[in-house]
Structure 1
């Protein structure tokens, strides 16, 4: 099953800008929530026109008319997605993305103050597009199915982070309201833990429990944990006692609110995961990323979505590695040379790659050995994972470029660990 895609995104886009801007003009657009400042600059760097358009359907149509009147076919902007970008791409406009951090530094080209002004930033974007063409690249968008998968994966990640935050808030609340429930089960947001907090939400109700009563309740809930009811009851007795009577009832209302939020978040994360699984199954590149060790479905979907489907964006493995932040940054001045952590990168891509790399050591002996050798050299866990991620990205890039799944039998470095060593004669 092949998902539908936007025909505009199928049109070929050159991988580099022409030496001179078409029509001798460049445009810059400073994106905002309610309106957008637009500036037109000629070949000498003079601003020849500017306007502000509203973030409405009529405003975006007016933007296209404004660009057409000024014969502008290239626009520099600070973000690579959204309705504005879709409108410009649909009209055949070449888009060049210049990050907000770059714009912040570029302001000092034109003055010492470096003040933030939307109209001035639009001019800076347009003039940078005119002067720095050799270092800039046009935006090559992914297909619609990849973009949709990326948004679903990021939405799930946001919900997971929200669930962790609410779980921490509930734990802090229970430390004072119901200490016996903290640490009783492995995960505070697990179904059995939430069911316990729903049934035994005050100290008075917990005092009613005996090992026999607790065991009967656990069997009714289908509890399959390895800890016996007697040991769980001993944990309850060893914990500090919470408040009782009227004050306890008031605190139980807060507990119920946190439990309800956690249940809703858990359910919606599960719904999103099913949606992601369906999207992944329909994607033409899914076989590449699901073949990776311990990639699963959600992890494979995140890797696919963050890397994308445009092969021209990463002509070499190093281009992908640097964007993912898996390669260090080298700074040199005179005799001073420092190799440091790469801060400027795609944070979402780095998180997806390092999450995969960290888990791959559990089943892949080559990955485990590479990670362990980094630890032995004195690297901490995050650094060792980035080293492993860099090696994995080279493999993933070749599979991705060739449209072939990962085959352990063709991974020569892995075969060293899988082939039995022959004893010396």
Structure 2
């Protein structure tokens, strides 16, 4: 029975593409109100907003929108208007489509209607995109780009190292114990000047000192030059001269890729740390042991600053992948590590937990207890990360900085004596 006087809810589905988007509007009863295709430009967005306004969209009661992506100009403009935007996983849309058609037909218009119907029937089961501030959205862009640059740098280093193993073992021996390996400025400077082992063997001590200075080294230059000179003068197996020259040209090309990757990672790190310092949550996040500006920025980028995004600490832990997941059926019950999670947040979580072992006595004691109880290293780290995420949720919700005595309280002397 329709209640007179109350507006009928309307739901919008958007099937996006590179050059156009299909729009479908559906009412609460399932009737399709509109079906239109818009262009991927300002005129198309104006057409969409006009269509929504025509069907009752207002500032107080915006029409929710479902779309299969959380990125792009269309999503950014929809979020800027303040309306709830739901990013639905494409496999979920495909399964929902099969509920209404056994013929497995598919079209952009059908997908748009399926998205609208998902909100109509199951909106409570999905979460809208968080209402993060503009600053934290910028931090997310920079932090993810910097993390991608670090991964690209690792790939470029591995490619170069694999190439050098074919004909240039001297440079690998020279920097086998270096903290940054081939990514160090000194190694890249020497490789640029001597891309083949024959050229490296001809480097004089004075030339090596000059290269080290160009790379930014200020201490122990003469000693390091002597060490490198001795390494490059050792006896090694060699490729044929023309083959070695060709491999040297290939090495120079790979070195240029590595230089670009290193520069990108450094520049993006500087940008993200500057943006992170401007955010009001930065002092709270940096107060935790094991978190610095870069790792703290990565944490903030993934959890955002919308305080209503996570209902409780358990939701945040599940999102980070630190909380275990239980699979129970009949007499079978298994507790397993969570596979579906925010991979970027989980990656920085293991770094956070590892570094905290030398920064927090309480964290170290907690890790040791888990290891003594039978956990492996990764499981103990994940458990510690899980505990930190609960503390972080509480601190951010209440505006408190980290307190070691509250986070890892020491047992009273009576309890300690009883335990002994």
Q: Would the TM-score normalized by the shorter structure come out above 0.5?
A: yes
Give the match for residue 63 of structure 1.
48
1:173-197 CA distances to partner (integer Å, 9 max, x unpaired)? Answer: 1111322222421201111111121
1:70-96 CA distances to partner (integer Å, 9 max, x unpaired)? Answer: 336121122334322232234443323
Among 255, 260, 266, which residue is 1:259 paired with?
Answer: 255
Say which SS state the counterpart of residue 49 (structure 1) adopts: strand
TM-score, L = length of structure 1: 0.84
1:81-121 CA distances to partner (integer Å, 9 max, x unpaired)? Answer: 43222322344433233223432332332234656643222
Give the match for residue 270 of structure 1.
266
Q: CA–CA distance in 1 between the matches of 2:345 and 2:73?
A: 23
The alpha-carbon distance between structure 1 residues 158 and 412, as it changes in their structure 2 partners (threshold 3 A), is closer
Among 166, 169, 178, which residue is 2:168 paired with?
Answer: 178
- Does residue 207 of structure 1 match 2:201? yes
The alpha-carbon distance between structure 1 residues 277 and 220, as it changes in their structure 2 partners (threshold 3 A), is closer
The alpha-carbon distance between structure 1 residues 124 and 259, as it changes in their structure 2 partners (threshold 3 A), is same
TM-score, L = length of structure 2: 0.85
Q: Shift in Å at residue 134 of structure 1?
A: 3.2
1:372-393 CA distances to partner (integer Å, 9 max, x unpaired)? Answer: 3333444333322221111001
Q: Shift in Å at residue 148 of structure 1?
A: 0.2
Contact 1:328 1:340 in 2 (8 A): yes
Among 190, 207, 212, which residue is 1:196 paired with?
Answer: 190
- Does residue 130 of structure 1 match 2:101? no
Shift >6 Å, 4+ stretches:
421-424
The alpha-carbon distance between structure 1 residues 119 and 358, as it changes in their structure 2 partners (threshold 3 A), is farther
Q: Which runs of 5+ in 2 are unaligned?
A: 1-5, 58-62
Q: Shift in Å at residue 228 of structure 1?
A: 5.8
Among 361, 367, 371, which residue is 1:365 paired with?
Answer: 361
Q: Shift in Å at residue 47 of structure 1?
A: 2.7
Give the match for residue 17 of structure 1.
none
Q: CA–CA distance in 2 between the matches of 1:238 and 1:123?
A: 71
The alpha-carbon distance between structure 1 residues 389 and 254, as it changes in their structure 2 partners (threshold 3 A), is same
Greater shift, 340-349 or 238-247, is seen at 238-247
Greater shift, 148-157 or 369-378, is seen at 369-378
Give the match for residue 98 of structure 2.
108
The alpha-carbon distance between structure 1 residues 251 and 43, as it changes in their structure 2 partners (threshold 3 A), is same
Give the match for residue 303 of structure 1.
299
Say which SS state the counterpart of residue 363 (structure 2) adopts: helix
1:133-160 CA distances to partner (integer Å, 9 max, x unpaired)? Answer: 3323443320000000111000101111
The alpha-carbon distance between structure 1 residues 116 and 217, as it changes in their structure 2 partners (threshold 3 A), is farther
Among 74, 79, 90, which residue is 2:69 paired with?
Answer: 79
The alpha-carbon distance between structure 1 residues 351 and 175, as it changes in their structure 2 partners (threshold 3 A), is same
Contact 2:156 2:261 in 1 (8 A): no
Q: CA–CA distance in 1 between the matches of 2:344 and 2:212?
A: 42
Among 335, 353, 374, which residue is 2:331 paired with?
Answer: 335
Among 335, 341, 345, which residue is 2:341 paired with?
Answer: 345
Contact 2:363 2:408 in 1 (8 A): no
Q: Which runs of 5+ in 1 are unaligned?
A: 1-20
The alpha-carbon distance between structure 1 residues 44 and 219, as it changes in their structure 2 partners (threshold 3 A), is closer
Give the match for residue 379 of structure 1.
375
Q: CA–CA distance in 2 between the matches of 1:91 and 1:422?
A: 62
Q: Shift in Å at residue 215 of structure 1?
A: 6.8
Give the match for residue 20 of structure 2.
35
Say which SS state the counterpart of residue 315 (structure 1) adopts: coil
- Does residue 145 of structure 1 match 2:139? no
Contact 1:203 1:243 in 2 (8 A): no
The count of aligned residue pairs is 399
- Does residue 157 of structure 1 match 2:147? yes
- Does residue 89 of structure 1 match 2:79? yes
Q: Shift in Å at residue 58 of structure 1?
A: 1.1
Q: CA–CA distance in 2 between the matches of 1:199 and 1:105?
A: 58
- Does residue 245 of structure 1 match 2:230? no
The alpha-carbon distance between structure 1 residues 240 and 49, as it changes in their structure 2 partners (threshold 3 A), is farther
